[in-house]
Amino acid sequence: MIEFKEVEKRYPNGYLALQQINLQIEQGEFVAIIGLSGAGKSTLLRCINKMHDITGGTLHVNDVNVHRLKGKGIRHLRRNIGMIFQSFNLVTRVSVLQNVLVSFVPTMPAWRKILGIFTKEEKRKALMALDQVGILDKAYVRVDQLSGGQQQRVALARTLAQNPQIILADEPVASLDPVTAKQVMEDFKRINQELSMTILINIHHVDLALAYATRVIGVRGGEIVFDGQADEINEETLAFIYHNTNQERGVTNHAMEAAITEKNSIA
C-alpha cells in the first residue's frame, strides 16, 4: 500500500531531513514511528500525504506516484488518507457533530459549502463515527466543553467519517495525561483491528508504541535504523535509536518496563 524507495527529503536551506528511506507498509498494519525530536519522524509521515514533497527517490501509495500528483490528484489522495494532529485542529466554539461533518466539505458542491447544508446520509455517517469512538452522547456539545482526550476522539471521528484507507497520526497523545493517552491508543488499536485500517503513528511515548503497535520503525538522523515487530525491540535497540547516551539509556529502560506492564494490562 505504501512504498518508499530510496526517498530523500532535503529542505531549501540544505538540511537533509530524510535519506535512503526504503520502506513498505501493507494494508491493515499498525505502525509506530519512534526516535528523538528532529530525527525525521514527522517529515516521514507527512511525505505520505504530500504535505511535504520528497526531493529524491520514489514514494507510492496504492501504486500512485505521490511526487507527481498535482491539484485534484492531491485532493483525491488525501481523501483516502486521514490526518490527526497533536493540536486536534477543531473549531471549539461549535458542536462536536459540526466538527465531524467538516470531513465532508471537500467533496460537497459549492452551494452547500456556502450554506452549510449537510445531507441526512452525511449526518448519519458522522454520528456513526462518533459512536465508533465512544462519544455519541457528546454529539451536540460544544467542543470547548470537552476534555483533551474527548477532543482527540472528535478528531479521530472526523477522520473516520471520511472513510479513509490510511490514518496518519502526528503525536496524537503528546498533550494528554497518561490515562487518557492509553484510552486514545486503545481507540486506534480497536479501529485497526475491527476495520483493518492502516495506522501510522509518530509518537514520543515509547512504552505506548511498544504496547499497542504491532510494528515499530526507529528513525535516527533521517534514516531508518530499526524496522521490525514491537516484540523484537530490546533495551539495546532503543538505546541505539535514541543515540545511546546515559540519559537515554535510563529512558529506554523505563520504557521497556512500562511497555511490559502495559501489555500485560491489555492482554
Does 242 map to a domain? yes
- The neighbouring-strand residues paired with 129 are none
Residues 22-31 have pLDDT tens digits of 999 999 999 9
Give the mean model confidence (pLDDT) for residues 173-183. Answer: 91
Give the mean model confidence (pLDDT) for residues 199-228. Answer: 95
- Same domain membership, residue 242 and residue 159: no
Per-residue model confidence (pLDDT) at position 246:
44
Average pLDDT, the chain: 90
Give the mean model confidence (pLDDT) for residues 157-163. Answer: 93
Is residue 200's pLDDT more than 70? Answer: yes
| C-alpha to C-alpha distance for 109 and 227, rounded to whole angstroms | 43
CA distances from 257 to 188, 244, 252 (A): 22, 18, 9
Residues 83-96 have pLDDT tens digits of 998 888 899 999 99
Does 223 map to a domain? no
Look up the domain containing 240 and give its range.
205-212+232-267
Residues 115-130 have pLDDT tens digits of 889 999 999 999 999 9
Number of domains the chain contains: 2
- Same domain membership, residue 154 and residue 256: no
